[in-house]
Amino acid sequence: MSRRTARRTPRGLLATAIATVALATLAAPASAGVGTTGAQTAAPQGRIFMVNPVQSSGDQNLTDGKDSATAVPASAYTLAGLRNLDASGGLSGRWATVRSNTGAAAKVADAAGYDRHDDQFEQVMAYFWVNEAQEYLQSLGFGSELPGANDRAQPVRIDQWGADNSFFTDKKAEIRYGKGGVDDAEDAEVIVHEYGHAVHNAQVPGFGTSEEAGSIGEAWGDYLAVSVGAYADAKYGWPRRTDLACVADWDSVSYTATVPHCLRRLDTDKTYADKVGEVHADGEIWSRALFDIRNALGARTADRVIVDAQFGFAPDTSFKDAALTTVATAQKLYGKSAADTVRKAFQARGIPGV
């Protein structure tokens, strides 16, 4: 990384820059990529999908093709910086540590060359998107102005399972991505959904012990997935050609017959009266409220309120208590008008007592 910096630095500043990078490397070996002194270091490049290939292309006819490289056009890929890596040469860094039970371990030196048929591609995707998600939370002030929200190296494992079954394991606080249908870690929205569970668990250990708390967990994962994807799209200038509200446009081509392909959506009309007692289905009640708050307050304000509020949720919270905590957080951070907006979003979902 220091070598790249040297090449990109104007001649007159070269010696200073090398000295600065050397000092930064000594002081913070695990956080290369973002200098604290103003010197910019170039991160190694990884080849990834721009969220997912259906979202970036708008092509609802893409299929998995048994993980074939030719099923997805080269235009769906881009190169992006793999930031915050340590010096190991593998996908291990400040916010994520990726291991794989399938095939060979990815090498940072080769990360710009993998395609979706390579096992290493999902490892690169997982590293990039977990890092990106934590960087987004950091950009909102979590870890500086506000408490950190899972600001640690998240263990991630790519597993070979028969079915679609990515999940977050409470005991090890590890995320696992399965390979059923479209490999789960080929879709950034699946990656970040699971990371959402890790964030919740870091904020409130054991979060999700009631059905309504579990539903909030699923809703938050879906919402964070969309929010981080939108943040990255804007930051890197990537195209989005599917509805913002559609979650996992690519993973879901394997198990949805109708188009657009979505695992779930953030914009359904479900209300409290539509509860069925299943956390993913009922999560769409909560995620619609989060989506409405976003559309009314803007992403940054909404997400600061939403994440900060989650620190105050009980592990077995009800929709009502979590909604009231979110209203109170909006009041605390932004005042009455924002609090009224948040309250209206939950009232529109028919949540009692709000």
CB 320 within 8 A of CB 287: no
Q: Which positions from 189 to 228 touch Ca ion by CB under 5 A, shown as an x/- string?
A: ----------------------------------------
Which residue among 184, 218, 222, 284 contacts Ca ion (CB under 5 A)?
Answer: 184
Contact 115, 121 (CB under 8 A): yes
Q: Choose between 200 and 294: whose C-beta lies nearer to Zn ion.
A: 200
For residue 97, CA distances in Å to 81, 106, 166, 341 come to: 16, 12, 16, 39
Angle ∠(255,257,263) on CA atoms, nearest 5 = 50
> Per-residue x/- marks for Ca ion, 51-80, CB under 5 A?
----x-----------x-------------
Out of 183, 284, 303, 308, point to the residue binding Ca ion (CB under 5 A). Answer: 183
Q: Which of residues 221-240 bind Zn ion (CB under 5 A)?
A: 221
Of 118 and 282, which has the nearer Cβ to Zn ion?
A: 282
DSSP letter at 93 equals B
Based on CB atoms, which residue is closest to Ca ion, 80 or 182? 182
Q: Which is nearer to Ca ion, 164 or 284 (CB)?
A: 164
Q: Nearest distance from residue 8's CB to Ca ion, in Å?
A: 33
Counting other chains too, the contacts that 83-89 makes at CB distance below 8 Å and 24 or more residues apart are: 83/33, 83/34, 83/43, 83/131, 83/135, 84/30, 84/31, 84/32, 84/33, 84/34, 84/43, 84/131, 84/135, 85/32, 85/33, 85/43, 85/44, 86/29, 86/30, 86/32, 87/29, 87/32
Nearer to Zn ion, 44 or 217 (CB): 217
| Cβ-based nearer residue to Ca ion, 71 or 328 | 71
Mark out the alpha helices in the chain (DSSP H runs). 2-8, 14-27, 53-57, 119-139, 188-203, 211-236, 279-297, 299-310, 319-334, 336-347
- Least distance from Ca ion to the Cβ atom of residue 137, Å: 19
Partner whose binding site includes residue 85, from Zn ion, Ca ion, none (CB under 5 to 8 Å by kind): none
By rule CB under 5 A, what string of x and - marks binding of each residue 241-280 to Ca ion? -----x--x-x-----------------------------
**Which one, 218 or 292, has the nearer CB to Zn ion?**
218
HSE-up (13 A, CA, CB side) for residue 138:
11
CB of 213 to Zn ion, least distance (A): 13
> How many residues sit close enough to Ca ion to count as binding (CB under 5 A)?
12
The answer to whether 354 and 324 are in contact (CB under 8 A) is yes
Q: Which residues bind Zn ion (CB under 5 A)?
A: 218, 221
Q: Which residues bind Ca ion (CB under 5 A)?
A: 55, 67, 116, 164, 180-184, 246, 249, 251
